[in-house]
A and B are shown apart, each in its own frame.
Chain A
Amino acid sequence: MVGAGGIGCELLKTLALSGFQDIHIVARDAVLRFRPNISITPYHANVKESRFNVDFYKEFDVVLNGLDNLDARRHVNRLCLAADVPLVESGTTGFLGQVTVHLKGKTECYECQPKPAPKTYPVCTITSTPSKDLLFAKLFGDKNLENDLNVRSSDATNLSEHSEDVFECRKGEDIEQYGRRIYDHVFGHNIEVALSNEETWKNRNKPWPIYSKDVFPDKLTKENGKTEKGSTTEDVSAMASLGLKNPQDVWSLAENSRVFYESLRLFFSKRQKEIGNLTFDKDDQLAVEFVTAAANIRASSFGIPLHSLFEAKGIAGNIVHAVATTNAIIAGLIVIEAIKVLKKDSNNYRMTYCLEHPSKKLLLMPVEPYEPNKSCYVCSETPLSLEVNTHHSKLRDFVEKIVKAKLGMNFPVIMSGASIIYEVGEDLEEDMVAIYAANLEKALSELPSPVISGTVLTVEDLQQEFSCRINIKHREEFDEEKEPDGMLLSGRVEAPVDKNSNKPIGNGESTSSALSTEEIQEGERDVEIQETSESAENVTGRKRKLSEVSKGSIPDHSGLPDESSKNQNQLEKLDVDDEDDELIISNDWESLTKKKRL
């Protein structure tokens, strides 16, 4: 077992009850023994540690995942492939869940189908559309860290005023002046700058700038005259000092603006020492208040519905929506598949969806597993190709944006032909470390063994026992908005990106680093899964190959619901009942994948 969170705990219980005698658990959470006759071996550790290598995996008959993040799932998938051990994978969010079985060569691997990559924002998006905690980092975080918030405004005409750090409190400026200046800069000036780029707004609604004098014509400071209660940092709350009680209430623009000022003021008056070192933490009340207010003021600009502090905390903190019942059901389904795996009953493996609204009377819907994707860069040996400006892009960009972010490697070795150009490892010679560090800052074409058009790079992660080849192709220009990485990796199936709806769902929490308010704007859409009638030509065979069914469409059975995008939603379902062969194809898998709105 990997993971002992919501699913993991239920899974351990059901495994133990079902007669599994020797269970090993790798998890960062503690594990409780409740059936002393069973051997339970806990490894209180991160599954990505190097001791959990391919030999470790080979000790097991089956690996069961109850994980909560994409990264670890990919890691385990690769090691299971390398060790040739069957993997039962799972995920839940709210009332939705799914269980899949992965057996090398027999069914698709976890990475055969698109998984939305960790979300990255092009710079222009960050400055023109609402953002979460960038402003927070800018004001209270480490000033030396790169932050994109101000990039666009420094390009603007008013260079002299805005190229300086506008977020720094100036000499002689009182907290209200400072707050108003920040407010006007972020919610007024930056919006005006964004508006000046007319191209952007051709096909979208224009935002309007908001200035503090319009919201608060009068002086703010000390207007309530109350003395703040609480002297410890945890007690400091703008809501408390403003008399706002219910975190479920949605504040007006004026209230949000008040909270914005008040939380800023409290940070500077009560938590002065921390400023410069703060990072956003969902359990930091004042931080959540500030971020909620800032996001809501932004949202007002863009005509996006505002959210309560409770909701904003969930979004900003990426809080998993979880209920015990779904985890219990999913754990039961995992055990059923695990037993089939142990019986080597591979013809009866199923991936099962736990639905919120029944489709064709089915609340638990079994589907025959898909065959391996022949062009999967993980479980097949298909090379990838990368278009990149080899003169401009540095090795560092390649490592960060491709090897780590896209390929999910932790300890990569990058080889060009026979020579190693980069390597991460625990026991490297010092001189090699220095050479690699120097290489990182070099453009690809300027490396000791130049990477140019036609070069084939081999990228390996020894810990994951995973290797792939990348054909390099030089390209001069990249579209800043559409290709923010400045490079384009292909040959790897990627989830289509839709700017309104590619939010990762539920347990894929770590896949999202930043989440804009815009993403939560889409309304509650009630969707029914439509069925095709039992078309005669499709119901002849008994167990059809799923590849035939899914031809021409992207099957979306992959990421649901842990990290699925909503757009490519197609559902193929095969009913393998002896006499009732039927086929359901739906274009609307949305009801399964949408995040429940509160």
Chain B
Amino acid sequence: MDGEELTEQETALYDRQIRVWGADAQRRLSKSHILVCGLKGTVAEFCKNIVLAGVGSVTLVDDRVVTDESLPANFLILPHENHYNGKTLAEVCCDSLKEFNPMVHVAVERGDISTFGVEFFEKFDAAIISCCSLGKKKLINQKCRKLSKRVAFYTVECRGSCGEMFVDLQDYKYSKKKLEETIECQIEYPSFEEAILVPWRALPRRMSKLYFAMRVIEQFEDVEGRNPGETSIADRLGVLKLRKELCETNSLDESQIPDALLERLLTDTREFPPVCAIIGGILGQEVIKAISGKGDPLKNFFFFDAMDGKGLIEDISGPSTRS
């Protein structure tokens, strides 16, 4: 591994985790730059995790002004700071994150991320996008893919007891130890757009129902021009109609997307803190894996539902990138 040795201070601070992933991985982490957009509870958990892990820098993008509604699941916002003086979510979270680990550089970038040019993303090793419209997610994913260097791309959303995470590592090579030898592995990832375009009938029979349900809700919000989470039970009929259409085009039985699940996703749009901790934790681990090149990264969706307690990985790719 090229690059400088870890400092004594770093070795001491990260001792426990170096024992898990090794000094090489720690060196790579400390030189990595992470872009984070959309600061709700799940992303706050994620930020804490990678700041504790000791990444080089974290750049926060979220110009929404802090309100009482930002508070419940986001532990980076302290309630006694009643008067935020119009501070943005990114600014308040930035201040809190700095206290978690002074060795990590945490900064705020102002502006609408969808207007940032391709070169902006080149500074980063990973981009994590949350609370964004479907269109923005696709756009940022495309920008990351245009670069010659790989910028790992992640989206993450939690609604009520459910959480979803998507990963695009493009063309990802890593090595892992199998028995005594080290084997080189290569995985090809589809983009977010490519993944969600994979015809449903082409997917494995026992695909997580959450995948389909999330796509229905996502499309509904997109068509209606709403921000993620701006739904209620009043949208039930509209959503059921969309489900019918999507199921017909995709030759999927409507029972694969149960009414009850859709209703939960529509009505309980607030984040549930234990789910934030879980999804934020898994996301943290995946970003650490991608940066350190250590360990099998997950491909390419992860679902968790507190109702059944399962944390499921699904590979949703077209035939060309199916592993």
The judgment on whether A and B are partners is: yes
A321 at interface by CB-CB < 8 Å: yes
B83 at interface by CB-CB < 8 Å: no
Known: A364-B278, A525-B179, A596-B20. A328 touches B49 (CB 8 A): yes
Docked complex: B21-46 residues within 8 A CB-CB of A: 21-23, 41, 45
Bound CA span A98–B277, Å: 15
Q: At the interface with chain A, which of B74-82, B124-132, B216-224? A: B74-82
What residues of chain A lie closer than 8 Å to B22, measured between beta carbons? 598
Known: A319-B15, A364-B309, A364-B310. A17 touches B75 (CB 8 A): yes
What residues of chain B lie closer than 8 Å to A325, measured between beta carbons? 49, 53, 281-282, 284-285, 288
B139-164 interface bits toward A, Cβ cutoff 8 Å, 1 = contact, 0 = none: 00000000000000000000000000
A581-598 interface bits toward B, Cβ cutoff 8 Å, 1 = contact, 0 = none: 000000000000000101
Docked complex: B87-115 residues within 8 A CB-CB of A: none
What residues of chain A lie closer than 8 Å to B282, measured between beta carbons? 325, 329, 363
B202 at interface by CB-CB < 8 Å: no
Closest beta carbon of chain B to A593's beta carbon, Å: 15
Closest beta carbon of chain B to A355's beta carbon, Å: 9
Bound CA span A466–B250, Å: 61
Q: Which residue of the partner chain, among A246, A323, A350, contacts B20 with CB atoms under 8 Å?
A: A323
Closest beta carbon of chain A to B306's beta carbon, Å: 5
Pair B310/A14 contact, Cβ less than 8 Å: no
Q: Which residue of the partner chain, among A246, A339, A576, contacts B5 with CB atoms under 8 Å?
A: A246
Q: Which residue of the partner chain, among B20, B45, B179, contacts A94 with CB atoms under 8 Å?
A: B20
A356-386 interface bits toward B, Cβ cutoff 8 Å, 1 = contact, 0 = none: 1110011111100000000000000000000
Q: In chain A, what residue has the closest Cβ to B8?
A: A247
Closest beta carbon of chain A to B87's beta carbon, Å: 18
Pair B79/A336 contact, Cβ less than 8 Å: no
What residues of chain B lie closer than 8 Å to A324, measured between beta carbons? 17, 48-49, 52-53, 284
Closest beta carbon of chain A to B124's beta carbon, Å: 20
Bound CA span A333–B281, Å: 11
Bound CA span A325–B80, Å: 27
Bound CA span A451–B206, Å: 63
Pair B273/A14 contact, Cβ less than 8 Å: yes
What residues of chain B lie closer than 8 Å to A94, measured between beta carbons? 20
Q: Which residue of the partner chain, among A37, A95, A310, A332, contacts B274 with CB atoms under 8 Å?
A: A332
Central interface residue in B21, B72, B311, by most chain A CB within 10 Å = B311
What residues of chain A lie closer than 8 Å to B11, measured between beta carbons? 247
Pair B16/A319 contact, Cβ less than 8 Å: yes
B313 at interface by CB-CB < 8 Å: yes
Bound CA span A524–B313, Å: 25
Known: A324-B284, A523-B180. A17 touches B73 (CB 8 A): yes
Docked complex: A1-53 residues within 8 A CB-CB of B: 10, 13-14, 16-18, 34-37
Bound CA span A357–B296, Å: 8
A508-539 interface bits toward B, Cβ cutoff 8 Å, 1 = contact, 0 = none: 00000000000000011110000000000000
Docked complex: B285-300 residues within 8 A CB-CB of A: 285, 288, 295-296, 298
Bound CA span A67–B75, Å: 23
Bound CA span A384–B153, Å: 58
Pair B304/A598 contact, Cβ less than 8 Å: no
Known: A248-B23, A324-B53. A526 touches B73 (CB 8 A): no
What residues of chain B lie closer than 8 Å to A34, measured between beta carbons? 75, 78
A250 at interface by CB-CB < 8 Å: no
A291 at interface by CB-CB < 8 Å: no
Pair A362/B5 contact, Cβ less than 8 Å: no
Closest beta carbon of chain A to B150's beta carbon, Å: 22
What residues of chain A lie closer than 8 Å to B304, measured between beta carbons? 364
Pair A321/B80 contact, Cβ less than 8 Å: no
Pair B19/A598 contact, Cβ less than 8 Å: yes
B212 at interface by CB-CB < 8 Å: no
Q: In chain B, what residue has the closest Cβ to A329?
A: B281
Q: In chain B, what residue has the closest Cβ to A358?
A: B313
A580 at interface by CB-CB < 8 Å: yes
Closest beta carbon of chain B to A386's beta carbon, Å: 39
Closest beta carbon of chain A to B253's beta carbon, Å: 12
Central interface residue in B49, B180, B274, B314, by most chain A CB within 10 Å = B274
B121 at interface by CB-CB < 8 Å: no
Known: A248-B23, A361-B313. A329 touches B278 (CB 8 A): yes
Central interface residue in B49, B281, B304, by most chain A CB within 10 Å = B281
Bound CA span A247–B53, Å: 21
Bound CA span A323–B18, Å: 9
A291-328 interface bits toward B, Cβ cutoff 8 Å, 1 = contact, 0 = none: 00000000000000000001000100001111111101
Bound CA span A362–B19, Å: 25
Pair A323/B179 contact, Cβ less than 8 Å: no
A335 at interface by CB-CB < 8 Å: yes
B312 at interface by CB-CB < 8 Å: yes
Q: Which residue of the partner chain, among A36, A354, A365, contacts B310 with CB atoms under 8 Å?
A: A365
Pair A580/B16 contact, Cβ less than 8 Å: no
Closest beta carbon of chain B to A233's beta carbon, Å: 18
Q: In chain B, what residue has the closest Cβ to A353?
A: B311
What residues of chain B lie closer than 8 Å to A17, measured between beta carbons? 41, 72-73, 75, 273, 276
Pair B308/A526 contact, Cβ less than 8 Å: no
Pair B20/A335 contact, Cβ less than 8 Å: no
Q: In chain B, what residue has the closest Cβ to A322?
A: B16
What residues of chain A lie closer than 8 Å to B276, measured between beta carbons? 17, 332
Pair B79/A35 contact, Cβ less than 8 Å: yes
Central interface residue in A36, A94, A246, A361, by most chain B CB within 10 Å = A361
What residues of chain B lie closer than 8 Å to A314, measured between beta carbons? 19
Pair A523/B281 contact, Cβ less than 8 Å: no
Pair A323/B53 contact, Cβ less than 8 Å: yes
B272 at interface by CB-CB < 8 Å: yes
A126 at interface by CB-CB < 8 Å: no
Docked complex: A60-116 residues within 8 A CB-CB of B: 94-95
Closest beta carbon of chain A to B177's beta carbon, Å: 5
Q: In chain A, what residue has the closest Cβ to B177?
A: A524
Closest beta carbon of chain B to A39's beta carbon, Å: 15
What residues of chain B lie closer than 8 Å to A363, measured between beta carbons? 282, 298, 302, 311-313
Known: A34-B78, A332-B274. A352 touches B309 (CB 8 A): yes
A238 at interface by CB-CB < 8 Å: no
What residues of chain A lie closer than 8 Å to B52, measured between beta carbons? 324
Pair A362/B310 contact, Cβ less than 8 Å: yes
Central interface residue in B18, B277, B284, by most chain A CB within 10 Å = B277
Closest beta carbon of chain A to B125's beta carbon, Å: 17
Pair A361/B275 contact, Cβ less than 8 Å: no
What residues of chain A lie closer than 8 Å to B75, measured between beta carbons? 13, 16-17, 34
Pair B312/A362 contact, Cβ less than 8 Å: yes
Bound CA span A319–B14, Å: 12
Pair A350/B313 contact, Cβ less than 8 Å: no
Bound CA span A143–B59, Å: 58
10 A-B residue pairs with Cβ-Cβ distance under 8 Å, sorted by A, are A35-B79, A94-B20, A322-B16, A323-B285, A324-B53, A328-B45, A336-B306, A363-B298, A364-B304, A596-B19
Knowing that A17-B273, A326-B285, A328-B277 touch, tell me 8 more A-B residue pairs with CB under 8 angstroms.
Answer: A246-B5, A314-B19, A321-B17, A321-B20, A325-B288, A328-B280, A329-B282, A365-B311
Closest 7 CB pairs of A and B: A364-B311, A332-B277, A366-B309, A329-B281, A17-B273, A332-B274, A332-B278
